[in-house]
Amino acid sequence: KLEKVWLMIGVMTLIAFLSTVGYQAFASGHAPPSDLTKLDPEKVEETPPFDEPGLHQIGDNEYELIMVLQSFGFTPNKVEIPQGATVKFIVTSVDVVHGFEIAGTRVNMMVTPGHVNSMTYKFNEKGEYLILCNEYCGIGHHMMSAELEVK
């Protein structure tokens, strides 16, 4: 008998949880980029935030860098940020699986079409950083790179 009560509580909790999640998804129809995890790879260019790739300041020396990966390049492929900047990289691919690695940092992501991946990193040191594709994606794979300059 007591088990039934616990089971009911469990079910109720689950329902409450699911409806909260469902409501939040609905309520934020204009979902912030951080909550965006899936998208139609064919509509990347018209799906925020990827309709405006590039660097966007979101706070005091805090940025979001929206990047689109496509064989065999990054858009944008040259970015400058100030020293000490915290950058949230928000990336997706429009075609095949690519990699997003910033040499000399712990930033390393797999970039899959239909998915949004993100990672945040603080650049304390000045210098030129190389962004590389580290997933074999075709004959131009070895040329696929971008530059990030911390000045």
- Least gap, CB of 18 to ligand CUA (angstroms): 37
- Least gap, CB of 144 to ligand CUA (angstroms): 4
CA trace torsion 51, 89, 74, 93 (10° rounding): -70
Rule CB under 6 A: choose which of 135, 146, 148, 150 binds ligand CUA: 135
Looking at 1-9, 17-25, 113-121, 129-137, which segment touches ligand CUA (CB under 6 A)?
129-137
Distances (CA, A) of 13 to 3, 30, 89: 15, 27, 35
Q: What H or E segment, with its residue span, contains residue 22?
A: helix 2-27
Give the span between the Cα atoms of 85 and 69, in whole angstroms: 23
53: how many CB neighbours lie within 10 A of its CB?
19
Rule CB under 6 A: choose which of 56, 88, 115, 141 binds ligand CUA: 141
Q: Does 115 bind ligand CUA (CB under 6 A)?
A: no
Q: Does 102 bind ligand CUA (CB under 6 A)?
A: no
10 or 138: whose CB is closer to ligand CUA? 138
Give the span between the Cα atoms of 28 and 13, in whole angstroms: 22
The owner of tokens 């928000």 is 90
- Least gap, CB of 60 to ligand CUA (angstroms): 33
Amino acid 61 reads N
Q: Output DSSP code: residue 21.
A: H
Rule CB under 6 A: choose which of 133, 146, 148, 150 binds ligand CUA: 133
Binding site for ligand CUA (CB under 6 A): 72, 98, 133, 135-137, 141, 144
